[in-house]
Chain A
Amino acid sequence: MIYLDYSATTPVSYEVFDTISKVTKEFVGNANSINALGRKSASLLESATKQIADILGINTSEITYTSGATEANNMALIGVAMKYHKKGKHIITSKLEHPSIYAICDYLKSIGFSIDYVNNDSEGLIDFDDLKNKIREDTILVSICAVNSETGVRQPLKMIRQIIKKENARTLLHSDMTQAIGKVPVNFHDVDLASMSAHKIFGPKGIGFLYKSSMVSIAPILYGSGKSNELKPGTPPLPLIAALSKALRLALNDLEKKERFVNLLNEKIVNNLSKYPNILINKTKYSIPHILNISIMDVMPEVMINALDKYEVYLSTNTACSSGEVSHSIMAIYDDLKRAKHTLRISLSYVTTTDEINKFLNIFSEVYDSLKIVK
């Protein structure tokens, strides 16, 4: 098997699996109970949260566990909207977001908020002038992802924040950091709110968190009991939380070395595929090496995926969350419908081997050549 869909999800690493199993067996108490078993669980919860906070340079009280990035995005966007709707109903996002952001924005639009989509330049970078012009007195939130899930384009959040705060100091900045964390360095102090998910960093599915700066207050979207967090009531899923903490620690070990290695793999693929005139490499100078998007102009991408399945080579069309649709991001960057309909996403990880890439390139060339002939 050659798995090249790490940006859709990752397998759970052995170390993390070990944590899940140990915590499930040994920590039976509810972290909200005051008895000794509950305290033992609460103590682990606290240590796990502290480890995350220390690694990321934030406070423990700024972390709210969620079921993943989609839930965190909901909490952030709807939470800001509900809290500040009297101050303004204007929200800005980009054309390079995860589908969940668009779905939430559509909902907010349906209840009276106005949504603006900021343009980007031909390299995928947010158009700073356009952003500046779109910010208004009543803009309560800007949501821009740290790394685009289809093209890997990375946004300069610090600069974006500076522009926003200069235009309207009250406008908050949220960033979906799911595709950035564990791949490239991120700084949570560049944003007011951020989302992430464990299953992209060799952690389990079903857990992620929302970062909310302690300087910011938002309205909860969930109500219930449980003292551990004001935004997320209920019993904390301790095995998943401990697993998230461990996965994050492991992911951020030697981050730069891992990134350099993935870059070598990325370049190898790019060099090889560049020889095909009908394959376009959708890579800009701001793309991170872990996500490599290409457009195969003379073969339908679904057909390519199906054919590769037989060889146990796994990749995606655009993103797992919007498979089969026109790629928004490629449209936004290249403004070319055909190119946007023909995308394939090859996503790499530091666990990918050079050998796997060599095999992949051979299989790819065989499959591609055979499909071209069919056409």
Chain B
Amino acid sequence: MKKIIIIKYAELSTKKANINFFLKALKNNIDNALTCNHIISYDRGRMFISVSEENIDKTIDVLLHTFGIHEIVIGFIDEDRTFEVIANNVLDLIKTQEFKTFKVETKRSDKEYPMDSMEVSKKLGSVILNNKECRVDVHNPEVIIHIEIRKDAILYYTNGIHGLGGYPVGTLGKGLLMLSGGIDSPVAGYLTIKRGVKLSALYFESPPHTSEAAKDKVIKLARVLAKYNPNMTLYAINFTKIQEAILRNIPYEYLITIMRRMMYRIAEKIANSENSKIIVNGESIGQVASQTLTSMSVINSVVNMPVIRPVACFDKLEIIDIAKKIGTFDISTLPYEDCCTVFVPEHPVINPELNKCIEYEKLIPYEELIDEAIKSKQVIKIKEEEKIFEDIL
């Protein structure tokens, strides 16, 4: 009996004509993420992955970070199709599992097999009952033991592990995430990646007002996202000159509004330069002054590109739940200032006026400053969990 990993697809079953495009993308994504030797084959129903025994845990971990998967199952495959062998294999399979109720479900794609599916299920059911303290429940079993009789072999599997769902990354095009060091933007990124969007990220730094540690924190956040969104690019924009110009020239209450408008402008330019179709950020309605509906509208008006705000309608606690689940929460809560928190007016405007913004912005040569900032952007290729200090540890 040889172990094999079986993947059941997520939402892809709603795709008809172009399902092959999605499956191919899923296969490629898994191919690229697996560092060990592996063989992948698939049909419209499932994908099969063969790896050597010692690489199974590693492979499952990769699959648990891959979108487009509904369920991951470890199955067994055996070329011996005699009933005695099947019975023994099934007993082997359930040996370590704890359950009180079960059912056997047999599929027979090889119609020439001497027993029909019902007969196989029934006989295996009684073998299990004779060897384990449990009972059959055909309606609501704790465990379903699946047997598939194929021409070349028998496939066995029981309950699987839930995958992440969503679409394979890249199938829906590209987007640019405005990634701060906070809790919300990594979650927004995660949710967008889940819908099949390949993300790059954009970070604004303001040295020396913001520290290297703050940037390291963002790189760490990007690294978490890169587990789901491999080969991520992070653009770091030096925002100091723009921020200082705003501080010097613009009324304090409009500081955040104008700053966000500048950031949006830069985001759109970078998105266009790398063929991203959307800007993604972690704004949540009402959370802070720049996230009131009026603020959002005044800020949004500087760009023509769709701005996706996946957590716009989530409560903070709901966002925190996801952040904890994906492992960004502990990083986000490290105490470093970022661009948006380093200068905060005591009473920021809640209902900014667009006309005023336009007037105020005339006070600074922002187009020039923006071009300069983009020109000097730092492009960081995020690799998943770099092995640092390997020589020491």
Contacts and interface: CB of A to CB of B under 8 A. Distances in A.
A355 to B, nearest CB: 32
A342 interface: no
B392 A242 contact: yes
A47 B216 contact: no
A22 B392 CA distance: 8
B112 interface: no
Contacts of B388: 43, 47
B21 interface: no
A143 interface: no
Interface string B316-338: 00000000000000100001000
Contacts of B213: 34, 39
B328 to A, nearest CB: 13
Interface string B271-304: 0000000000000000000000000000000000
A39 B216 contact: yes
Question: Which 6 A-B pairs have CB atoms at the shortest separation, nearest pair first?
Answer: A47-B389, A245-B393, A51-B393, A246-B393, A19-B392, A44-B389
A162 to B, nearest CB: 12
B114 to A, nearest CB: 42
22 contacts: A19-B392, A19-B393, A23-B392, A34-B213, A36-B212, A39-B212, A39-B213, A39-B216, A43-B389, A44-B389, A47-B388, A47-B389, A47-B393, A48-B389, A48-B393, A59-B330, A60-B330, A61-B330, A227-B335, A242-B392, A246-B392, A249-B393
Contacts of B392: 19, 22-23, 44, 242, 246
Nearest to A246: B393
A116 to B, nearest CB: 31
A34 B211 contact: yes
Interface residues of B, number: 11
Interface string A227-247: 100000000000000100110
Interface in A295-323: none
A256 to B, nearest CB: 13
A36 B393 CA distance: 21
B178 to A, nearest CB: 25
A39 B214 CA distance: 11
Interface of B: 211-213, 216, 330, 335, 388-389, 391-393
B145 to A, nearest CB: 25
A44 B392 CA distance: 9
Nearest to A48: B393
Nearest to B327: A59
B333 to A, nearest CB: 10
B252 to A, nearest CB: 28
Interface of A: 19, 22-23, 34, 36, 39, 43-44, 47-48, 51, 59-61, 227, 242, 245-246, 249
B226 to A, nearest CB: 16
Nearest to B330: A61
A43 B219 CA distance: 13
A59 B324 CA distance: 12
Given A39-B212, A47-B388, A245-B393, 15 more contacts: A19-B392, A19-B393, A22-B392, A23-B392, A36-B212, A43-B389, A44-B389, A47-B389, A48-B393, A51-B393, A59-B330, A60-B330, A61-B330, A227-B335, A249-B393
Nearest to A248: B393
Contacts of A39: 212-213, 216
A18 to B, nearest CB: 9
B232 to A, nearest CB: 20
A147 B391 CA distance: 32
B297 to A, nearest CB: 39
A169 B163 CA distance: 30
Contacts of A43: 216, 388-389
A48 B389 CA distance: 9
Indicate the member of B213, B216, B335, B392 with the most A CB atoms within 10 Å: B392
A60 B213 CA distance: 18
Nearest to A19: B392
Contacts of A60: 330
Contacts of B212: 36, 39
Contacts of B389: 43-44, 47-48, 242
A339 B335 CA distance: 58
A197 to B, nearest CB: 19
Contacts of B335: 227
Nearest to B386: A47
B338 to A, nearest CB: 15
B218 to A, nearest CB: 14
B216 to A, nearest CB: 7
A369 to B, nearest CB: 49
Nearest to B385: A50
A158 B211 CA distance: 45
Contacts of B211: 34
B241 to A, nearest CB: 23
Nearest to B211: A34
A23 B330 CA distance: 26
A2 B335 CA distance: 52
A34 B211 CA distance: 9
Contacts of B330: 59-61
Nearest to A47: B389
Nearest to B390: A47
A57 to B, nearest CB: 11
Contacts of A47: 388-389, 393
A103 to B, nearest CB: 34
A20 B226 CA distance: 33
A242 B392 CA distance: 7
Contacts of A19: 392-393
Contacts of A44: 389, 392
A2 B63 CA distance: 49
A59 B213 CA distance: 21
Contact of B393 (A34, A61, A242): A242
Contacts of B391: 22
A64 B211 CA distance: 27
A59 B335 CA distance: 19
B268 to A, nearest CB: 33
A245 B392 CA distance: 10
B161 to A, nearest CB: 16
A99 B389 CA distance: 37
Contacts of A242: 389, 392-393
A47 B393 CA distance: 8
B81 to A, nearest CB: 34
A225 to B, nearest CB: 14
A227 B335 CA distance: 10
A61 B392 CA distance: 22
B208 to A, nearest CB: 12
B274 to A, nearest CB: 29
Contacts of A59: 330
A122 to B, nearest CB: 29
